[in-house]
Amino acid sequence: MRWRKILVPLAVATALGAVVARAEEDKSAQSIEQYREALKDGNPAELYESSGEELWKKPAGPKNVSLEKCDLGLGAGVVKGAYAQLPRYFKDTDKVQDAESRVLTCMSTLQGVDVAKYVNASFGTPEKDDLNAIATYISGQSKGVPVKVSLALPKEQQMYDLGKRMFYYQGGSHDFSCATCHGEEGRRIRLQDLPALATKKGAGSAWTSWPAYRVSAGQMWGMQWRINDCFRQQRFPEPVYASDVTIALSMFMAANANGALMDTPGIKR
């Protein structure tokens, strides 16, 4: 009897405490959700989509031609739906390429542009802004299209495997790998939900939402920039733009996301 007298109120108090804490948590989550919803209506990424389209269609480079004949995997000049099937193997370069590395190829072959300048430029420079805008345009042309990335060719499967290994590769001062943050479902950094990128659900929500407008910096980020900044936070050296490391990780995410609908360009904190 005495036990019950003590324990019942204690249990009630504890349960109540938990309920209050949970309610607070739900309220925060709801409020953040409201914030994100308010941002979606009027995504500045649309401005970049337009400028990307302009860059795509405007004659440029030493050969003064546009990128309209660029083959993004569905044949020369086909942009609609192309992003949803990238990365993929390209015979002409004998490489697996993502959208951004493929644009570099087309700038080089079609326009005669020396792309080294574009590869080496820092993010936030006019060169990278152009590439991000073009990637934003291309991705927008796959909005609503299901991700369909093939691993049928040996080079594609190999890229996926290399990406998986990179995903779990620890290093640096903090022992971080991609998986430290993106290895488990339902985790957050601060208030940011972290997609579990080895799963269909996590990769599906992440891969389909980039390129995205980052409101914190007022910048348009393609997946290359996203990966670059992840490695920075991981305390790793800088990944080379459009290098196999970045494409392997993209292949890992994209193939894991197969079937999810592209929802680009996105908007993020």
Partner 1 sequence: MKKIASIVSALAFAAIAAGVQANAADGSSWGPGADDANFKAMLKSGFRAKGIATLDRLDQDATQAFCSDPDRANSKESAAQKAKIEADNMAAIKWPSDGKWLGDWKEGEKLAQSGRGLTSTDKAGDVNGGNCYNCHQLSPKEISYGTIGPSLTNYARIKGVDEEAMRYVWGHIYDSKAYNACSNMPRAGYKGILTEKQIKDLMALLLDPNSPVNQ
Partner 2 sequence: MGHPMKIRASSKDGVTEIKVLMNHEMETGFRKDSSGNVVPAWFIREVTAKLNDKIVMTAQWGPSVSKNPYLAFKVKGGKAGDKVSVSWVDSQGDTRTDEATVT
Partner 3 sequence: MKNAHTRRQILRNGGLLGLLATIGSAIAPRLALAEWNKPAFDGKTLPETYKVLGADGAKESSDVQLIASDIAENGAVVPVQAVSKIPNTTQISFLVEKNPNMLAALFDITPDMVPDVTTRIKMGQTSNVIVLVKADGKFYTATKEIKVTLGGCGG
> Whose Cβ is closer to partner 3: residue 28's or residue 120's?
28
Count of residues in the chain: 269
- What does 62 interact with, of partner 2, partner 3, partner 1, none (CB < 5 to 8 A by kind)? none
Encoded one letter per residue, x for contact with partner 2 by CB under 8 A and - for no contact, window 187-216 reads --------------------------x-x-
Q: What is the CA radius of gyration of the chain?
A: 22
CA 7 to chain centre: 51
- What does 36 interact with, of partner 1, partner 2, partner 3, none (CB < 5 to 8 A by kind)? partner 3
Catalytic residue among 70, 178, 181, 230: 230
The DSSP bridge pattern shows strands 192-194 and 187-189 to be antiparallel
**232 near partner 3, rule: CB under 8 A:** yes
> Whose Cβ is closer to partner 1: residue 91's or residue 188's?
188
> Whose Cβ is closer to partner 1: residue 89's or residue 231's?
231
**68 near partner 2, rule: CB under 8 A:** no
3-state SS string for 67-98 = CCCCECCCCECCCCCCHHHCCEEECCCCEEEC
- What does 35 interact with, of partner 1, partner 3, partner 2, none (CB < 5 to 8 A by kind)? partner 3
Q: Cβ neighbours of residue 241 under 8 Å, at least 6 residues apart?
A: 100, 118, 119, 120, 128, 224, 228
> Whose Cβ is closer to partner 3: residue 50's or residue 158's?
50
Q: Cβ neighbours of residue 17 under 8 Å, at least 6 residues apart?
A: none
- What does 50 interact with, of partner 3, partner 1, partner 2, none (CB < 5 to 8 A by kind)? partner 2
The DSSP bridge pattern shows strands 212-214 and 219-221 to be antiparallel
Encoded one letter per residue, x for contact with partner 1 by CB under 8 A and - for no contact, window 185-204 reads -xxxxxx--x----------
The DSSP bridge pattern shows strands 219-221 and 192-194 to be unpaired
C-alpha to C-alpha distance for 150 and 90, rounded to whole angstroms: 12
178 given a catalytic annotation: no
The only residue of 119, 215, 245, 261 in contact with partner 3, by rule CB under 8 A:
215
The only residue of 10, 18, 191, 240 in contact with partner 3, by rule CB under 8 A:
191
Catalytic residues: 230
